[in-house]
Amino acid sequence: MEKRDVLTLRDLTRAELHEVLSLAAVLKQERREGRQRPLLAGKKLALLFQKPSLRTRATFDVGMNELGGSTLFLGPDEVRLGERETPADCARVLCRLVDIIAVRTFAQDIVAEMARFGSVPVINALSDLYHPCQVLSDLLTLQECKGRVEGLKVAFVGDGNNVAHSWLLAAEKLPFRFILACPEGFEPDEEIYDSVVAGGGDVAVTHDPGAAVSGADAIYTDVWVSMGQEAEAGGRQDAFAAFQVNRELVARANEDVVVMHCLPAHRGEEITDEVIESRRSVVFDQAENRLHAQKALMVWCLGAGA
């Protein structure tokens, strides 16, 4: 079997994406019934993280343990990736020790280099450019609460960032309609956006949040200041002030709209406390689904079948 890295959602075909989502739903149901299958018995996962994390780290850790495997966590101060050791050398060492690697880092090139030099699958656990594991879990959440993802309208209100980029790729792949409302100057990466348009994706970018959410089945938001952008915080707070997901904005969407956020949330900034606590919010389902989606992804990457 060819090595299966997941550096972006492009690494999965539409059929494979469906396969992973279906397996995630099955694993979730089995877990609810108190049944866990040791599909990755004896396998070891290295978690190499250069940025903080709650959900990603916890769900990979719990997930691998539930599948019968174990994990090795390597934080930023231990490895000092790119500073003490090149990503290539790090990958060549780790792949002698573990069966699969999840990397959370800054530049996408680092994830790509680790995948190129490592002989075991590498999963992108968030980079500056993409967050495939998050959007995989979000698709599972939408599937559960809307019964389908294809044909829905998803409005992303916020930064054209890593999470938005993964949504763009998903929109092309499945497909569904995806509109991003952002302030001028915070549009998604042009190359990614243009490639999705060229691939026939039904996507758009606007600077009008109200227009974006009109007729939306889901409203998504994320922090205005991503990890690594802390120095830009002041300017970003000002630029994004009119892009808050609040009661007035939600009222402009479909009546049964769901509100999504990858978390962590900054209440009072990109989303109000009222909206995130409302019955429309599915943020904690999204967080739980990180577990099921990443278990399925690891099983797929390792060709463990289910």
- Quote the least distance from Cβ 63 to ligand CP, whole Å: 13
Q: Is 30 exposed, middle or buried (0-12, 13-18, 19+ CB in 10 A)?
A: middle
CB distance 220 to 250 below 8 Å: no
Can you read off the two tokens belonging to residue 165?
A: 């980029």
Active site residue 222: yes
Cα 236 to the chain's mean position, in Å? 22
* Residue (39 or 55) nearer to ligand CP, CB: 55
What's the rounded Cα separation, in Å, for the pair 64 and 71? 7
Site string for ligand CP, 128-167 (x = CB under 6 A): ------x---------------------------------
The binder of 166, among ligand NVA, ligand CP, none, by C-beta within 5 to 8 A per type, is none
Backbone angles phi, psi at 70, to 5 degrees: -140, 165
The amino acid occupying position 126 is L
Judged by the rule CB under 6 A, the positions of this chain that interact with ligand NVA are 126, 161-163, 222-223, 226-227, 262
60 contacts: CB under 8 Å, gap ≥ 6: 45, 47, 71, 102, 125, 294, 298
Catalytic pick from 4, 55, 57, 131?
Answer: 131
The binder of 151, among ligand NVA, ligand CP, none, by C-beta within 5 to 8 A per type, is none
102 belongs to the binding site for ligand CP (CB under 6 A): no
The answer to whether the bond into 121 is cis (omega within 30° of 0) is no
Active site residue 90: no
Can you read off the two tokens belonging to residue 221?
A: 């938001």
Catalytic pick from 104, 236, 261, 280?
Answer: 104
The binder of 54, among ligand CP, ligand NVA, none, by C-beta within 5 to 8 A per type, is ligand CP
Stretch that binds ligand CP, among 8-16, 20-28, 54-62, 174-182 (CB under 6 A): 54-62
Closest listed residue to residue 290, CA positions, set 150, 70, 126, 169: 126
Provide the annotated active-site residues: 104, 131, 134, 222, 262, 290
Instruction: State the residues that interact with ligand CP by CB under 6 A.
Output: 53-56, 126, 134, 262-264
